[in-house]
Each structure stands twice: as C-alpha cells, then as structure tokens.
Structure 1
Amino acid sequence: MIFLRFLQKLLFPYFWDDFWYLLKVVRYGFQLQMYRARGELVTVLDKFLRNAKKQPEKPFIIYEGAVYTYQDVDKRSSRVAHAFLNHSTLKKGDTVALLMSNEPDFIHVWFGLAKLGCVVAFLNSNIRSNSLLHCIHSCQPRALIVGADLLGTIEEILPNLPEDISIWGMKDSVPKGVISLKEKLTMASDKPVPRSRHVTANLKSPCLYIFTSGTTGLPKAAVITQLQALKGSAGLWAFGCVANDIIYITLPLYHSSGSLLGIGGCIELGATCVLKRKFSASQFWNDCKKYNVTVFQYIGELCRYLCKQPKREGEKDHQVRLAVGNGVRRDVWREFLERFGNIKMCELYGATEGNICFMNHTGKIGSVGRTNFIYKLFFPFDLIKYDFQKDEPIRNEQGWCSHVKKGEPGLLISRVNAKNPFFGYAGNKKHTEKKLLCDVFKKGDVYFNTGDIMFEDQNFLYFWDRVGDTFRWKGENVATTEVAEVIGKLDFIQETNVYGVTVPEYEGKAGMASVILKPNKPLDLEKAYEQVVTYLPAYACPRFLRIQEKMEMTGTFKLQKFQLVEEGFSPLKISDPLYFMDSLKKSYVPLTKELYDQIMNGEIKL
C-alpha cells in the first residue's frame, strides 16, 4: 500500500487534486441537469433570493464599515424594481445600461432590474465621451442608470444620446433631462416582486452585457447568458471557498471578475463580501485585518502593486488563505508568497465572452490552469500554429490548421458546439464572426478564437502572450510580457508597457518600451541598454524608449497599448522624451528629429 502511494505520487503527483476537482465539476453539472429535469431553471438571482430567505440577517456586503444583510439587499433591490414598475414602461427582456462605481447600489440596481427580467449592461465607469456613447449605442438600452458621482460624465454626452432612452440618476438633484431614481426609491415599496416577472424559460437567454476592456480598440458588449452567469458564480466554490469565508472584492463590478466570480461567487456560497470602491495597495492589508478577510480576488498587476509597497512589520499577520484571479507573473507570485505568507494562489483563465475556462486548482506557480484527457472530453480545445506576421492561424496546402508540439506556444482555440456555445457580442455581428474560426481541422467545424497564445507542459497550461500584443521582429516572435519583466527589474523603473511599432521597409515591428520612472530616481540610459542586451535575445531588445509620467489603464489593470502603437516613435508627434538604442555607444540616446529622419530614410539599420 505504501509502495502504491509512493508510485502514485511519483508518476501521478496531481491525481487526487484532479480527481476531486473533476468530481466537483461533474457534480455541479449534474445539479444543473437535475434542476432542468424538474423544470426548475434556477438563476443566480434565484439563489440570492433563497439565501435572503434562509439567512436574512447574515451580512452580504460590507462597504466602508456599513453592513448590508441579505435581507437588506433583497428589500433595497425590490424598491428599485417597484420604482421602475411605477414610473417607467420597462418590461421583461428590455436592456438597461448601468453606469456606476463600486458601491452597494450597483448590486441593488442590478438585482432590482433582474427581478423585472431586464438585461443589464454594465458600463465601464472609466470611459468618457465617444467611447461611452459607442458602448451605449451598441447595447441599445431602453434606460440608463447613473451613479451620483458619474452624472457629470453623462451630462457631457446628454445631447448625443438617443431620444428614446430615459436617464435615471442616483441623486436628489439631477441635471435637466435626468430623472431622480433616488427620489423615486424613497416612495417605492420593498415588497417581494413576483417571480413570474423574472422567471426564465431558457438558461441560454441573455441576462447581462459585459464589455471587453478594449485594449486594442473600442469595447465590445459580450453577451452573458443565465448559464454563463451560473458557471462564473461557481468559481470560488470550485477553488474550495465556503460559506464562512469573507471575500474581499476590490475589482470593478462592471467586469465579469468582480460581478460574476466575486458577487455571484458569494451568492453561490452564501458568504460575505467586503466591497471596496477602488483598489488601494496601501490600505489593502489593513482592510484584510480589519474585516477578517479570508479570500481576496486579484487580476492583472494587483499582486505586483502590493509587492511594490514599502515593507512593514507583521505582513504575514492576517487570515487570508486563498487568492483567486488571473494574470500574476511567476516572479511576482513567488515574491508575494515569500513576503505575505502561505496563501494559496488560485489562478484561472477565462475570457468574458469565451466558452472555455481553466483553473489551476493545484497552486502550481506560473500556470493558468490544469488540463487532462477527461477535461478535454467536456471542454475540447487545441493549441494551433500561428503566423504572427500575418496575424492569422497557419494553414497547410489543404487549408487545415495544425497542432503545435508539446511545450511550443500556440493559439488557444475552443470547440463551439451545443454543450459549449459562443454567444458573441451585442450589436455588430461582424465582431462575433471575427472571433470564430471555421473549417479548422475538418469541413464544418467551428472554434472560438481566444486571441491568447499559450503552451502546455505536463498537463499545465501557461499564458505566453496576447496575439495583439505579440509582435514579430527579425523573423522571431517577441513576447511583450517577457521584455516588460526584464526592464521592470531596473531599480529606476516604476512601470513598463512594451509593444511593437512599424518602421518603413522592415517586416514585422520593432520593439518599443514606454516606461514610468520611480520618484526621485534618474534615468540611466547605459544601464537600461546593458539590462536588455544581457537578459534578452537581440531580436527582443526594444529599439525605442518612451518616458511617460502616467499610463492609461483599463479597469482591470491592463495597460492600454492601442494609442501608443498608433503614435509610433515620431518626435514630431510625441512630446514625451524618446530614446533610440545605439549599439555603437552601448546606450540609449535621445531620438532627435535628425536621427528619426535617418531611421525613416533607411540610413540607420535597426
């Protein structure tokens, strides 16, 4: 027996981790099938209402010290529903756009509209003017609800909004053309709303529109069905969270991580959520200690921001046991654990609009998820060869795509079928069609194109880069994350954003790094040169540097690259300091107009 255990650990070290995780997945799927067999289609809202009945006095949301129980949120959301029943013509199936910051009323309004059977479109609270107008037009809402702090944003675009949209503000005094929802709520009933108003006949019907972050252009409204919302809400439970956990959410609720995985996850568990208006690295651990947080959500660079904070005594003195999210680099992962203690990092992968999800339930550093042949039976996916020059999958003479070898990076694609559908985006059908690959391995097959390059090693998946961020130079593929990591190790660099820029007469794109310097730290151009040539392949060394005071970011801490790529490296267009990599001087040198002209005319070879 002991020998068999030793053999199992040696040959199949993750056998039991995989077994228990897959058992959970199968169990959850079986539960959904049982509901369907009984003709009882249960949604996230239904689960919330059950919690409100079962544990009315249990804290659901803690926000800035105030406690909102499950019953409180139920009653407040019913007030929202009754306010619209009494003062609007909204009906089941109508779309309502929601522009609010992280606050309890975001959830009250969301659930109130859900009780009426409305589809709620979460608008990014950071976008303005034309981008905001684009989002509103793309989801075609009947009404728009705006938080008190964002009424100024709407006032700017009021004349350009469609006439058939009613605008509601969460404030007593609102601009002309806006209805005060706050005033209507004071007179609204908090009685339960009949379930008949929101009961769904099909779990594949839309319940939300969540906008993609728009790192490479204008945001797109991803269709989120009742089924997708349910699957998203099961994430925390699948990682081992329980009803007694206190979950800290600092991510924006307009994104799927904050709303579905976070709020939906708390509902699935019947747990308590500590909601933060905005992530603060300096207040993070104080909040965790103050509210006895046991689980927190992360995304993008959040963990790195925490590691950049000045060290304090008692940093491991907290009750956090799990962190759930995605996008943490290996070096940051290790540093985070070493500094803040034995916290299990539960990395996951899943696009907002995607039909595939991976979860690293083992805690393996660097991996975004685990897979095996059983998982592939339920969720078929492949990694295929990709042409970075043409920005498209490589096809052979017969027109078929081909698999990459084990360990090689390839484009992640996921099979689209009845069990794993892709619901696409609201509005322009071209956006939906662009995300699909047809006739991949055989005639008639359809795959969802994730746009992510990954590689697989011993049944673990690792993120390599985004297709849009990866660029080709000197016949080689350059991973921007790798370059940014190397530059980021310089002691005078605060932030790094790497991308490719077009240079006349050259195939591919030359590397460019936009950086922010640390306060009171001078730029050392020779040291920067030495760092990149020492730790990067020659083709990956950025030919250009740009020094910025601040960088535009999405609400999920992703660096915006679209505008930077468009601006290129011209000193005539860019007022920021620019530098060029000079191999003779073994340093980066100021990119003057004369030097720029020489590069453009081909007098200087890159």
Structure 2
Amino acid sequence: MQVIANMLPWLLLAGFTLFLLFRFPYLYQDVKFMVTHLRIRRKIFQHTQNNYTIVEHFVETAKRQPHKPLLLFEDETFTYQEVDRLSNRAARVLLESGLVKQGDTVTLFAANEPVFAWLWLAVLKLGCSAALLNSNIRSKSLLHCFRCSGAQVLLVARDLQGAVEEVLPELLEQQVTVFFMGSTPATSAMQSFTEKMSHVSSEPIGQDLRSHVNMQSPAVYVYTSGTTGLPKAALLTHIKLWRLTMVLRASGLTSDDVLYISLPLYHTSGLVGFTGGIELGLTVALKKKFSSSQFWDDCRKYNVTVIQYIGEIMRFICNTPKKPNDRSHKVRLAIGNGIRANVWRDFVSRFGNVRILELYGATEANFFFMNYCNKIGAVGRDNFLYRWRYPFTLIKYDVDQGEPLRDSSGLCIPVPKGEPGLLVSEITARAPFLGYARDLQQTEKKKLHDVSKKGDVYFNTGDLMLIDKDGFIYFQDRVGDTFRWKGENVSTNEVADVITQADCISEAAVYGVEVPGNEGRVGMAAVALKDGHAFDCLGVFKHIESFLPTYARPRFIRIQSSLDVTGTFKHVKAKLVKEAFNPSAIKEPLYFLDDKEKRYVPLTTDIVHAVISGSIKI
C-alpha cells in the first residue's frame, strides 16, 4: 500500500498529462513555440539595451570566423572577411565622396548578386539607411520609388544600367548622383563605383559614424505594392529588422546550415534570409534568378540544407521532369509562404523527408504566423498565448463594398470559427505599425479604427483568412486592389494608370483572375476605347512592354463599351473577376497577350484550352 501511496502523485501527474494531451493535442508544440519566441524576445531586448544592430553583429562575426564562406555565388566564394573588407571599401567611397552623411538614405538598384550584400552593409556601416529598389521596375515606377526614399545617391548594378539611362535626365534634374557598379559606364553622367573602390582602403569603418543610430532608426526601406497606387516604401527600423531576422533562429537553423536563397534580396523574405544567415553565422548560397531546372543541381553543388520558397517556386519544382536522383540532396527544411496543400504533398512525396515550414506575414505587418505544427495547408495556429501578446482577430468583410461590416455600435463583427474573415492585428507599443516613407495617406489606409472597442487601432492585412475548429489558420484570398502573380504583388491602380496612357484606351479596370494549375492570379483588364478608335493590338502591347515588368502585364484584355462604377466612382470588379476570360460566357471581344507574336491576339477557345492545359505558359 505504501508503494502505491508513493506512486500516486506520479500516477496522477501522468494521468493529468495524458488528459491534457488528449484534450489539447497541440499543447506541447504551442508551449514549445512560445518558449522559443520568448527566448528570442529576450535576445532582442538585450540587443536593444546595448544598441546592438545587425551590422555590429556582422563585424563581430567576421572577426570571429573570417575564413568561413558567407556567400556562394555561381563559381565564386566570398568569406565573411572578404565581404567585410569589400563593404569597408564601398563605405569609404561613399564617405570620401562627401555625398552621404549620417542619417541619409542611399538607394540600391541591384538583383541577387554579391555586390548587393556589401553595398547594403556599407550603407549601414555609415549610419545610413538603404532603400532597396525592385530590379524589375522601370520608367515611371522607377522614378517614383526613388523619390519615395528621399535619397540623393543611387547605386546601380551592372545589368541595370540601361534601365537607369532611360530616366537619367530626370534624375540629373533632381541633382541625383548615380554610381555604376562597373569599370566603364556608358555615359559620363554615371560614375564608376568599382573603379573608385580599387583606390580606397579596406580598413574597418569607424564605429563612431554609427553613434547616432538607435534601434528606432531606419535601417531599410522595402517597396511593397500595398492595396492601391504605386509601390510604397515600407520602413524597417533596426529593431524590426532584428525581429524579422530572428525568424531563421526560431525555425531551427544553426551555423552549420547552408541556406539557398533564390528569392530577391530587395524583398523582405530574401533580405531576411541573408540577415538571418549573418545572425547565425552560416553560409548562404545565392542564386541570381530562380531556375527550376537548376534548383536541385545547385542544392547538390553547394551542399544546401535549407531552402527559402514562395508557393510558385515549389509548384515549378514539382512540375520539372522526374529524375532518379530527385531524393539525392541534403535539404532538410524549406521555409516560406504561399504553398498550396496539393503542392506540399507532391513536394514531400517526391523529394523526400523535407520539413515544410510555412510562414505568414507582410513587410509592413506588425505580426507574423508560423505553422510550427507542420499542418499541411495551414499558415499558422491560433495559439492563445501568442494572441495574448499580439492581439489579432478575423472580422466580417463585405467584398462588394470593400469594407468591414460593423454592428449597431460601430464596432467590427468577429467571425466564428470555420468562417472566413478579414485578418486584422491590434497596433500596440509591443506590435507597432511603422507605415510608409513619405506617404501618410497610405499609412492611414492600412489602419482600422474602433475594431473591438472604441478608440483601438488595428493593422489591416487585406487578407481573408479562416480558423478551423482545431485552431489552424488558413489563407483564403486577398482583398482590395492588389493581387499576387509570379511571387510579386501587382497593384491594379498602377497597371490601370499605364494602360490608360495607350492611345486607343480611355478607361481601364484591372483585376486578377485564377488560372487552373497556377499560383496566385494573373492580370486581366477590362477597357473602354476612345471614341473612333479600334483596339491597337500591337501598339498596346508595345506600350505595356515599355512600362510594366513581365509579371504585371495583363495577359487578358476585355473590350467593353463602358465600365460599371459604384456611387463613389470605384470600378465594379466582382462580376468581371467571376466571368474571368471565358469566351463562351463573354460576348465582348477578348484578347490574349501572345509572347511569341509580340502583340495581343484575339482570344479563342483553343487558346483558352491551351492556357488551362499548360501547353501555353503564362
């Protein structure tokens, strides 16, 4: 009896534990996630107390492991020490030019290549912030994005010289200094940055140049389409950069990993992959542009253990021809967002035991989700501990009116579990929303007031989500005037502005439509023609090709006599989206952007079938 009495507390504990596991099957993972989260919060708090930025960490890491590879690029290897010294040279060129002073912003226009890394580090070493231009933008968008930053210096990669030459007169009018990453720029209006770097020292840059920097100082501006208008520069302070950077540590990466980045460094995901690599002291294999045919060969070549993805990338990889060595690799973890459940299953089934870690967030968002339970199709979990620290909710949303539904007291209406709703997150001191550079109007548009109680303010994600009975969160759709295609956010207003500048078009409504077998939504435009004009198939194509990157060009155009608008003159798009590009349901003329013909061609049933079957790639 005494033995039983002694064992009773342990039996009760075991029974209680079994009850908890049965009643709350994901409790262990929830608690583990929150413990990791709190440890990282403590680490960030220490960095804040010590005013310790990512660039200080990089300098220390380069001293501690100078000969460890930081970047693997094509057939080149750059060690931590080499990147440190190159960034010192780049910083010294900017410093000695007299064009950059403490607190300034410097704009980078570069794709995925090592020069991006040391230029960005150079800017931070001078106590400045960097505005990261999307390497696909051109003309009007390029000028707009540059002006948003408030910078007077533009650093241009070798491959992008032509894009800058198109707008060089306007830049020179604004007295902008343009540095070209090559030894012989084609015009005297650009200075050779590479040549200047060869004449300066690689000795360390004095830390006193960063003495004014604190954790609330701007570190990076990342451009995002948002919900309306031209791209906006979302601000990342040093503390927010730390929070994003720590996602890799929270995901279980270590200094022994090799991270493969084929996502653009000018977007948050790619940049955070790089900064997270620095924080952990690991090696990054950098790809200039994603290639599905070269993906696994690269992983084998560089001994990659972790990859970053967006949903489109994973689908492309799964669509490659099967090979006997599909499972011959060292990849153990894939981190990213936007993967569909069927692609998730196909990827794991074909390529082996690779853990998929799906994330959800946005550059300007004040929170993020992590699917730490490996639930296929989910983007995260409704963990009550996490919700306590970062209050978020799903509210009822009127898609036709484009605004949340409110009750008689003016507050938003929460949706029950199992129903889709607009995801919003409360803006607090713990979870601030930093907004956009030089755009108070767009910053305010991302805020919702009086959501749960009078006087509160929430960040509007613009995304419809669903929480199931087990607490898993699923992405449903994107609302507003932005859709996602080829891994890029496309602003419908920006595209419409470009289309209406074509000679034959008077008005345009742009929207995204689904195409079977493709992630996201492809661009389509309903247009009204100017009086007395016919649709100019070749002229419209050339105009759009000149002003829009490939992913933003409408693949389908619908000709209408007029466009329906609301009482506030907003285009009515719900019916257009529903009808999509079905010739049998639409009586008006339809056109398709034919890449081979380099023009818009009449859309036929045969073309529609070829697009849906995948024999015509879009």
Structure-1-length-normalised TM-score: 0.81
- Give the corresponding residue for 2:27: 15
State which of 398, 401, 410 in structure 2 corresponds to 1:399.
410
Q: Report the Cα offset of residue 509 of structure 1.
A: 2.2
Q: Report the Cα offset of residue 397 of structure 1.
A: 2.5
CA distance in 1, matches of 2:603, 2:421: 34
Matches within 5 A, 1:406-417: 406-417=417-428
Taking a change above 3 Å as real, the CA distance of residues 315 and 298 of structure 1, as seen in their structure-2 partners, is: same
**Alpha-carbon displacement from aligned partner over 1:334-382 (angstroms, at most 9, x marks no partner):** 1111111111111101111111111111211111112311101111111
Percent identical residues: 44
CA distance in 2, matches of 1:217, 1:504: 20
Structure 2 unmatched ranges of 5 or more: 1-10, 484-510, 527-561, 566-571, 610-618
CA distance in 2, matches of 1:61, 1:269: 14
- Give the corresponding residue for 1:584: none
State which of 32, 49, 68 in structure 2 corresponds to 1:58.
68
State which of 79, 94, 102 in structure 2 corresponds to 1:84.
94
State which of 352, 358, 363 in structure 1 corresponds to 2:363.
352
Corresponding position: 1:448 with 2:514: no
- The SS at the match of 1:511 is helix
State which of 134, 137, 160 in structure 2 corresponds to 1:150.
160
Q: Report the Cα offset of residue 163 of structure 1.
A: 2.7
Corresponding position: 1:97 with 2:107: yes
Corresponding position: 1:133 with 2:143: yes
State which of 469, 484, 488 in structure 1 corresponds to 2:514.
484
Corresponding position: 1:293 with 2:314: no
- Give the corresponding residue for 2:354: 343
State which of 83, 105, 109 in structure 2 corresponds to 1:73.
83
- The SS at the match of 2:155 is strand
CA distance in 1, matches of 2:177, 2:564: 50
2:225–2:482 CA contact under 8 A, matched in 1: no
- Give the corresponding residue for 1:204: 216
2:109–2:154 CA contact under 8 A, matched in 1: yes
- The SS at the match of 1:13 is coil
Taking a change above 3 Å as real, the CA distance of residues 494 and 543 of structure 1, as seen in their structure-2 partners, is: farther
Instruction: Return the letter of the residue paired with 2:33.
Output: Y
- The SS at the match of 1:77 is helix
CA distance in 2, matches of 1:83, 1:507: 51
Q: Report the Cα offset of residue 550 of structure 1.
A: 5.3
**Alpha-carbon displacement from aligned partner over 1:27-69 (angstroms, at most 9, x marks no partner):** 11112223444xx111111111121111111111001121111
Corresponding position: 1:510 with 2:576: yes
Taking a change above 3 Å as real, the CA distance of residues 50 and 470 of structure 1, as seen in their structure-2 partners, is: closer
- Give the corresponding residue for 1:257: 269
Taking a change above 3 Å as real, the CA distance of residues 406 and 443 of structure 1, as seen in their structure-2 partners, is: same
Matches within 5 A, 1:579-590: none
Taking a change above 3 Å as real, the CA distance of residues 233 and 173 of structure 1, as seen in their structure-2 partners, is: same
Q: Report the Cα offset of residue 205 of structure 1.
A: 1.5
- Give the corresponding residue for 2:316: 305
- Give the corresponding residue for 1:571: none
Q: Report the Cα offset of residue 76 of structure 1.
A: 0.6
- The SS at the match of 2:239 is helix
- Give the corresponding residue for 1:601: none
Taking a change above 3 Å as real, the CA distance of residues 259 and 339 of structure 1, as seen in their structure-2 partners, is: same
Number of residue pairs the alignment of both structures matches: 522
- The SS at the match of 2:577 is strand
Structure-2-length-normalised TM-score: 0.79
How big is the alpha-carbon RMSD for the aligned residues of Structure 1 and Structure 2?
2.8
Structure 1 unmatched ranges of 5 or more: 472-479, 516-524, 530-540, 552-573, 582-586, 589-606
Taking a change above 3 Å as real, the CA distance of residues 144 and 496 of structure 1, as seen in their structure-2 partners, is: closer
CA distance in 1, matches of 2:435, 2:400: 26
Matches within 5 A, 1:417-496: 417-457=428-468, 458-468=470-480, 484=514, 487-488=516-517
CA distance in 2, matches of 1:543, 1:417: 51
Corresponding position: 1:390 with 2:401: yes
Q: Report the Cα offset of residue 507 of structure 1.
A: 8.5
Corresponding position: 1:366 with 2:396: no
1:172–1:180 CA contact under 8 A, matched in 2: yes
**Alpha-carbon displacement from aligned partner over 1:202-239 (angstroms, at most 9, x marks no partner):** 31221111001468642110011101110111111101
CA distance in 1, matches of 2:227, 2:297: 32
Corresponding position: 1:239 with 2:305: no
Instruction: Return the letter of the residue paired with 2:600.
Output: S
**Alpha-carbon displacement from aligned partner over 1:426-447 (angstroms, at most 9, x marks no partner):** 1221111111111222222111
